[in-house]
Amino acid sequence: MMSIQVPYRGLGLLSAALLLNIAACGITDQGSSGGLAAEVDAFLETYTDQYVDCYTASSLADWKANTRIVEGDDTFRTQTEEAQQLQAKFTGSKENIEAAQRFLESKDQLTTLQVRQLEQVLYEAANFPQTVKPLVDQRIASEALQNERLYGFEFKIDGQAVSANEIDDRLDASLDVTDRRKVWEASKEVGVGLKEGLEEMVGLRNRTVQALGYDDFFHYQVSDYGMTSDEMMSLLGQFVRELWPLYRELHTWARYELADRYGASEVPDLLPAHWLPNRWGQDWASLVKVEGLDLDPVLADKDPEWLVRQGEEFYVSLGFDPLPKSFYESSDLYPAPPRAPYKKNNHASAWHMDLKNDLRSLMSVQPNARWWATSHHELGHIYYYQAYSTPEVPILLRGGANRAFHEAVGTMMGMAATHKAFLEGRGLIPEGMETDETQALLREALDSVVFIPFSAGTMSHFERDLYAGTISIDDYNRRWWDYVRKYQGIVAPSERGEEFCDACTKTHIINDAAQYYDYALSQVILYQLHTHIAEKILHQDPRNTDYFGSSEVGNFLRTLLAKGATQDWRLLMRETLGEEISANAMLAYFEPLVEYLKQQNEGRTYTLPNLGT
């Protein structure tokens, strides 16, 4: 799964303009006049101006740190720390904390927008409160170092350096089980050097947010949804249970399919991790090639920029504005050259650099099906940024309705760009070509449904334990694989001892911590949004839609996206969809697949429990 960039940043070479931003990032006294509402407005105006300066400086910093990683050169890491410390000094200042708390004591006299902005001020402050400045400084330094270790790591197979893309490509295509295991094990080596740093970061993250009353860092991140940790885990458990019968069928199908594909003498009870096309077993879609819908050969001779431009054309057809020229000038969209003296973050992301008009994406686009969907996904974030960057949305509330909404929109648009009707309309496949609709639906389920046990199960439970203090560094790997086995039905090809940290190989554990449930919620929300668009606006089969050129779809999306975080996300769902968050739409979408899988699995042995317990 791909992501938007997290709110706080790091830094690269400090330009004159950037230095001016940093200089402006200070703390000033807040005066009062004209009553409480006017006093709050004055505070928020001053705070926002300074926040944008800090945010922009830190964004520019982090951009350079993620796009130019040079082994042995800690210049960018040092500048990252400096920028983050300046931002932390402002957002976490005692003056800002006390002012926001004081105003909220009389919130019944304030507008909803004022209250939501003040609450955002306190939420930002809790991440890096200056009341515990030594801890904040340690945390920033620790996180910058871990980020450098993570993205500066050189993967090697048989002594030869390989990129993350090359690892993914070999796991996607190789039929040699011995080679697959070698590639999979190579992908896990990065975790070894991150384990001790993770333990340090967990402690520092917890202690900083505890200074403002949060139980731990996981609780802090969950609170952004207006929920407790227990409430979030209960919701995630509901998703797993609701989708488990379908996942159990997919798991059984995959065991037998892959045993046959690799010539295994026996069908394993649990899926060997190196048999799967994804390093973490979170996406099995490439196990199925749908004749006529296999985009890899269609896209192979395209220029990578063409994929991105096609994504832009899709959004423009819905009525959105073309991307600004600066997007292409400032983004880093393609893989680093083979002999480049630097590395770059290999995780696709979208960036709102100044919470205004500086929009960028960090990708490594190649002409294949995976990057076709990813390009459309990442542009979904960019157009979400554009939609709420208006005078009607205060800068402090320029975010998604919740964090999952951003992912839901991006992933929904990536999915829509792979439907048969859409591809026919774009001339990528011949119109009227016969395709196996069941296989197409199976491929989608091997992506979307398979993802839920990983996101709502393995990742979220591991991170909950990690920050709640119920797991020690001597038990990281065992706990990780316990959850992988329980929720995904996957096992490592051999014993993975505590010298490894296989959880650390997932980038989000290191630099997007305690938020992976965002992706689980986003999968559920996207099917609710998509079903509404298909059935209520386009009057099309949700499994085969073509959004392209629909102004009605564009109007619906803009209405939804333009509100940013100005109202509670649950209220927004009720107003726009008429329903609460639920996996019902997702289950209905894949309902035609259930009977097929049961037929395929007739006479086979199911090895996952009936209820997923």
pLDDT per position as a tens digit, 292-308: 888 999 999 999 999 99
C-alpha gyration radius of the chain: 24
346 neighbors 364 (Cβ within 8 angstroms): yes
Residue (of 364, 343, 362) closest to 71 by Cα position:
343
Other CB atoms within a 10 A radius of the CB of residue 38 amount to 11
pLDDT of residue 6: 37
Write the pLDDT tens digit of every residue in 180-203. 999 999 999 999 999 999 999 999
Q: pTM for the full model?
A: 0.90
Mean pLDDT of 316-328: 97
**pLDDT score of 588 more than 70:** yes
Identify the band that residue 19 occupies on the pLDDT scale cut at 50, 70 and 90: very low
Report the distance separating Cα 476 and Cα 387, nearest Å: 41
SS3 track for 42-102 = HHHHHHHHHHHHHHHHHHHHHHHHHHCECCCCCHHHHHHHHHHHHHHHHHCCHHHHHHHHH
**For 136-185, how does the pLDDT look when each residue is reduced to its tens digit (9 = 90+)?**
999 989 998 998 899 889 999 999 999 998 999 999 999 999 999 999 99
pLDDT of residue 31: 42
**Mean pLDDT on 539-567:** 97
Binning pLDDT at 50, 70 and 90, where does residue 33 land?
A: very low
pLDDT at 26: 52
What kind and span of H or E run contains 344?
A: none
CB 488 within 8 A of CB 458: yes
CA 71 – CA 154 distance, rounded (Å)? 10
Compute the distance between CA of residue 242 and CA of residue 457 in angstroms, rounded to an integer.
13
Residue 254 burial (10 A CB sphere; 0-12, 13-18, 19+): buried
The 3 state secondary structure assigned to 523-572 is: HHHHHHHHHHHHHHHHCCCCCCCCCCCCHHHHHHHHHHHCCCCCCCHHHH
Contact 79, 14 (CB under 8 A): yes
pLDDT at 152: 87
Beta strand 271-272 with 490-491 is parallel
Please measure the distance between the N-terminal and C-terminal CA atoms of the chain and give it in whole angstroms.
26
pLDDT in tens, 232-282: 999 999 999 999 999 999 999 999 999 999 999 999 999 999 999 999 999
pLDDT at position 76 is 79
Closest CA to 524 of 241, 221, 253: 241
List Cα–Cα distances, 52 to 64, 212, 257, in angstroms: 18, 23, 53
pLDDT of residue 612: 45
Calpha distance 150→191 (Å, rounded)? 8
How does pLDDT run across 418-433, given as a tens digit for each residue? 999 999 999 999 998 8
Taking residues 463-468, report their average pLDDT. 98
- Residue 133: its pLDDT value, please? 93
Over the chain, what is the mean pLDDT?
Answer: 92
pLDDT reported for residue 151: 85
Task: Name, in order, each residue with C-beta under 8 angstroms of 391's C-beta and a sequence gap of 6 or more.
Answer: none
Q: Is a pLDDT exceeding 50 seen at residue 20?
A: no
> Residue 299, Cα to own-chain centre: how many angstroms?
25
Q: What is the pLDDT of residues 392-405, one digit of tens each?
A: 999 999 999 999 99
pLDDT in tens, 66-114: 999 888 888 877 887 888 889 999 999 999 999 999 999 999 999 999 9
- Residue 259: the pLDDT is 98
Contacts of 6 (CB under 8 A, 6+ apart): 511, 512
Please state the rounded mean pLDDT for residues 220-239: 97
Q: Which residue, 520, 594, 584, is CA-closest to 252?
A: 594
